[in-house]
Amino acid sequence: LFDDEPAEWEVDAQSQRLVATIVLGEGATGEYDYLVPDTLSDRGDYFLEVGRRVRVPFGRSNRKVVGYCVTLETKLVDAARLKLVAEVIDASALLSPAMLRLTRWMADYYLCKWGEVLEAVVPAGVRLLAGTRKVTLLSVPEDVRDTLGQLKLGSPQQRKALAHLAASERSLTTAQLADAVGCTAGPIKQLLKRGLIEAHEKRVRSSELDETIVERESPLVLNEDQQHALDAIDAALESGKPRGMVLFGVTGSGKTEVYLQAIERVVGYGRQAIVLVPEISLTPQTVRRFRARFDGVAVLHSHQSHVERHREWQRIARGDVQVVVGARSAVFAPTPNLGLIVMDEEHESSFKQDSAPRYHARDVAWQRAQAEGIPLVLGSATPSLESWYKTEQGEFARLDLPRRVSNRPLPDVLTVDLRDPAHTRFSRGAISRPLHQAMVAALRDEGQVILLLNRRGFATHVQCPACGYVAECPACDLSLTFHRQESILRCHYCDHHEPPPVNCPDCKSPAIRYGGMGTQKLEAEVRARFPEHTCERMDTDSMRKAGSHQRVLDKFCQGEIDILLGTQMIAKGLDFPNVTLVGVINADTALHLPDFRAGERTFQLVAQVAGRTGRGEKGGRVLVQTLSPEHMAIRAAVRHDFEMFAEEDLATRRQLCYPPFGSMIRILVRGPQEETAQAVAEGLTQRLRQETTGEEGVRIMGPAAAAIPKLRDHYRFQIQLQAPTLDPLRSAVTGATAKWKVPTGTFLAVDVDPWDMM
Ligand code: ADP
Ligand code: ZN
Ligand code: ZN
């Protein structure tokens, strides 16, 4: 009756009680105290401990919501004011105290709710299944098995499920069976009801769960550079102190072998290692390399079923696993005694999550490494400038593998200057004359060809084909974007705008135009030019079906495809000895994106794609088509000179206070009504300016239309905050958004250390 208003005489009734602090998974912000009833505090099956989930009554309606218990202590409270924990969900803690601290740090750093982080860290499969201690296993009784042929069954799904279970060598859970035949639990329940299958409860141990057997390999004898790197990691391991290290080496320089041997040491100390790889390179081959060296290898990635994820998570938490290999979220793997974190291809975009919590796995990994006093090894041929800068500052160590193990030279990289009419006169398509000739030669010698078309250039920049001039914002040093509807050039950082030039301001050519070429168009051109050769396209459109990515790669590997063309998807981590030519259709699409990382991405792209060729006996070369061959990022990539690139790009960033010299937060406001979204963005900008008045060095830019101004019927505006350090920006955003109600239907996304500016 008096649920929310305690009676007067109870106000001072303080007593010592066991109190749990609960962070709600979704919805409400904040932490709430609840009393722990005696039934949940004794050591029964479902007693409460820190890191388990609970159901608690919430709000006036007392609806039951799920929360995480983050602290548990006996203290003096006014018991009448507190509600009771209703139920404990999990049979064991999902999060260790260390993981709770890490997630708390993430919520503060990335300006999101703690509950939101917790939901992201604990995989859905684990949240769903953690409460199940015993599994219910299904099997087909003997007598049913004998009469299987004569049974009349209602639905084809029942028939399929029954046949699958009868043929299966072991008992299955409902979820496994449903997964296997592609049905819901419904038909299985029907079978149970009719007594055609039976259920029994059982405790399942991980040892009963089969793992693929891989032939074992022994470690290789390291070359001098590798040995040097391993020694440095070893010293860091023994020191018991956190140590960030950048392992800088081209593809094929033997980085993975160094990881493997470093992990061997870690395992020798009885500890575990986490290896983070980009989602796209989490292939069976990668996993096999680890399974060939270690007994307990767990794999975590986003395409796993709930059951699989849960199984891996439990094995890891029990300490049955020595090595966890996984994509971004594997940084949260619940290893009991972590000894090392490795991040391969650390510059990769897929390590940054693009929904809340918008964390970068590299930064979370470093945070975790510091908390656990262990080394973090970041491997790349083209390290992010953030990590590179840390090595220059002495914060991270730098370990070099300057040569390919095979001693094969890196391929020759040549630019094709698209401004030269002799190169393009040949045709009006995307393939220049020199590239066409190189393709003819490569195919004649039975080599394979990769063509890369970076399509991220859909935010179309204006470029002069005669001289390579690109329209840039005078304030931001970034390319302007052409907006077709208004026929205007806009800067997406500061909202500077100007009419598009009729003639090129530099060379007065009237041919000025905006870029844009799709992979489908390119495919048609290739098929027309090389009708006698096989060609396959690989991009997110053509690769939508699960497994199709791997199928195409397998076919290419077996030589069934002569020409593989696609987006940067094909530039990564693949090893094809027979590829003798790589063509980059237009290096400028990445170069002129309105993003301060445009140069870095272009360099990475060309360097990575160059690593795809020249691996075999025949050698190989790379042709880079561009309108700006003199651009520093392209010149450096042609010379395989990362250090030159880093030095020059860092100098520019220092001048403009871009990361790593300053911090950045990007806020995206979106909504179905343009005026509302814009008004919200403007209101927010005003509040942000108020919050930062008098703050040294804070720049607030915007609101400006986002690089993609309208997406899925939502209008998008962005505000960008820059400052020498992150703290004033974080408090400004917290201050400006506190107690502020965004109109329904309008959304704010706060991105700390943004990676993508689209
Ligand atoms: P990265 O990870 O830098 O691309 P890898 O570790 O995959 O390089 O090595 C490339 C190739 O060279 C692999 O086939 C690997 O087995 C081989 N390799 C690596 N180190 C050695 C070594 N010390 N001796 C002989 N072969 C090696
Ligand atoms: Zn021009
Ligand atoms: Zn600008």
Residue 405 beta carbon below 6 angstroms from any ligand 1 atom: yes
Q: Please count the residues of the chain.
A: 758
157 contacts 181 by C-beta, under 8 angstroms: yes
Confidence (pLDDT) at 1: 41
Span 130-187, pLDDT tens digits: 654 456 788 888 888 877 777 777 788 888 888 888 887 777 878 778 777 777 788 8
Higher-confidence position of 47 and 584: 584
pLDDT at 458 over 50: no
Beta-bridged to residue 751, according to DSSP, are 666
Q: Which long-range contacts (CB under 8 A, 24 or more apart) does 728-734 make?
A: 728/692, 728/695, 728/698, 729/663, 729/664, 729/665, 729/698, 730/108, 730/109, 730/111, 730/665, 731/691, 732/688, 732/691, 732/692, 732/695, 732/698, 733/111, 733/665, 733/667, 733/688, 734/111
β-pairing verdict for 297-300 and 135-139: unpaired
Distance 502 CA to ligand 2 centre (A): 11
Nearest ligand by distance to the CA of 289: 1
SS3 state at 668: strand
Confidence (pLDDT) at 646: 96
178 contacts 140 by C-beta, under 8 angstroms: no
Q: Is 535 annotated as a binding residue?
A: no
Distance 403 CA to ligand 1 centre (A): 11
Confidence (pLDDT) at 540: 63
| Mutate-to-test residue for ligand 1 from 263, 405, 576, highest number of ligand atoms within 8 A of CB | 405
CA distance 756 to 601: 11
Q: Is 476 annotated as a binding residue?
A: yes
310 contacts 130 by C-beta, under 8 angstroms: yes
β-pairing verdict for 481-483 and 488-490: antiparallel
- Residue owning the nearest CA to atom 11 of ligand 1: 252
Evaluate the omega torsion of the peptide bond into residue 383 and state whether it is cis, within 30 degrees of 0: no
CA distance 706 to 595: 12
Higher-confidence position of 651 and 740: 651
Residues near ion ligand 2 (Cβ under 5 Å) = 464, 466-467, 469, 504, 506-507, 509
Confidence (pLDDT) at 245: 98
Distance 476 CA to ligand 3 centre (A): 4
Residue 226 beta carbon below 6 angstroms from any ligand 1 atom: yes
Torsion angle, CA of 57/62/63/68, rounded to 10 degrees?
-20
Beta-bridged to residue 715, according to DSSP, are 671, 710
Distance 707 CA to ligand 3 centre (A): 12
Percentage of the chain surpassing pLDDT 70?
A: 87
534 contacts 502 by C-beta, under 8 angstroms: no
Give the residue from 643, 628, 586 showing the smallest Cα distance to 609.
586
pLDDT at 53 over 70: yes
Token couple for 312: 């891996």
Q: Is 112 annotated as a binding residue?
A: no
| Mutate-to-test residue for ligand 1 from 220, 247, 250, 257, highest number of ligand atoms within 8 A of CB | 257
β-pairing verdict for 563-566 and 375-380: unpaired
pLDDT at 712 over 80: no
Average pLDDT of the chain, as a whole number: 84
pTM, two decimals, is 0.78
pLDDT at 583 over 50: yes
Q: What is 229-269 written as a DSSP string?
A: HHHHHHHHHHHTS-EEEEEEE-TTSSHHHHHHHHHHHHHHT
β-pairing verdict for 513-514 and 535-538: unpaired
Confidence (pLDDT) at 347: 93
CA distance 365 to 121: 13
Q: Is 572 exposed, middle or buried (0-12, 13-18, 19+ CB in 10 A)?
A: middle
Residue 256 beta carbon below 6 angstroms from any ligand 1 atom: yes
Confidence (pLDDT) at 133: 47
Span 374-418, pLDDT tens digits: 999 999 999 999 999 999 999 999 999 998 887 777 788 999 998
Residues near ion ligand 3 (Cβ under 5 Å) = 473, 475-476, 491, 493-494, 496
Span 228-249, pLDDT tens digits: 999 999 999 999 999 999 999 9
Residue 310 pLDDT grade (very low, low, confident, very high; cuts 50, 70, 90): confident
Residue 358 pLDDT grade (very low, low, confident, very high; cuts 50, 70, 90): very high
- Residue owning the nearest CA to atom 25 of ligand 1: 220
Q: Is 183 annotated as a binding residue?
A: no
Give the residue from 36, 79, 81 showing the smallest Cα distance to 56.
36
Least confident of 42-56, 266-280, 626-640, 662-676: 42-56
CB atoms within 10 A of CB 636: 23
CB atoms within 10 A of CB 267: 19
Nearest atom within ligand 1 for CA of residue 401 = 3
| Mutate-to-test residue for ligand 1 from 226, 256, 258, 264, highest number of ligand atoms within 8 A of CB | 256
CA distance 608 to 250: 9
| CB contact burial 736-746 (16+ within 10 A = b; e otherwise) | bbeeeeeeeeb
Beta-bridged to residue 483, according to DSSP, are 488
Residue 249 beta carbon below 6 angstroms from any ligand 1 atom: yes
Confidence (pLDDT) at 573: 53
Distance 472 CA to ligand 2 centre (A): 13
Q: Is 504 annotated as a binding residue?
A: yes
Q: Is 557 annotated as a binding residue?
A: no
Nearest atom within ligand 1 for CA of residue 406 = 12
228 contacts 399 by C-beta, under 8 angstroms: yes
Distance 629 CA to ligand 2 centre (A): 14
- Alpha helical stretches, state H, 611-717: 632-638, 642-656, 674-692
- Residue owning the nearest CA to atom 8 of ligand 1: 254
pLDDT at 495 over 80: no
Nearest ligand by distance to the CA of 501: 2
Distance 475 CA to ligand 2 centre (A): 21
Residue 123 pLDDT grade (very low, low, confident, very high; cuts 50, 70, 90): confident
Token couple for 141: 């009784």
| ipTM value | 0.95
Confidence (pLDDT) at 132: 44
Distance 516 CA to ligand 2 centre (A): 18
Confidence (pLDDT) at 206: 35
Nearest atom within ligand 1 for CA of residue 249 = 3
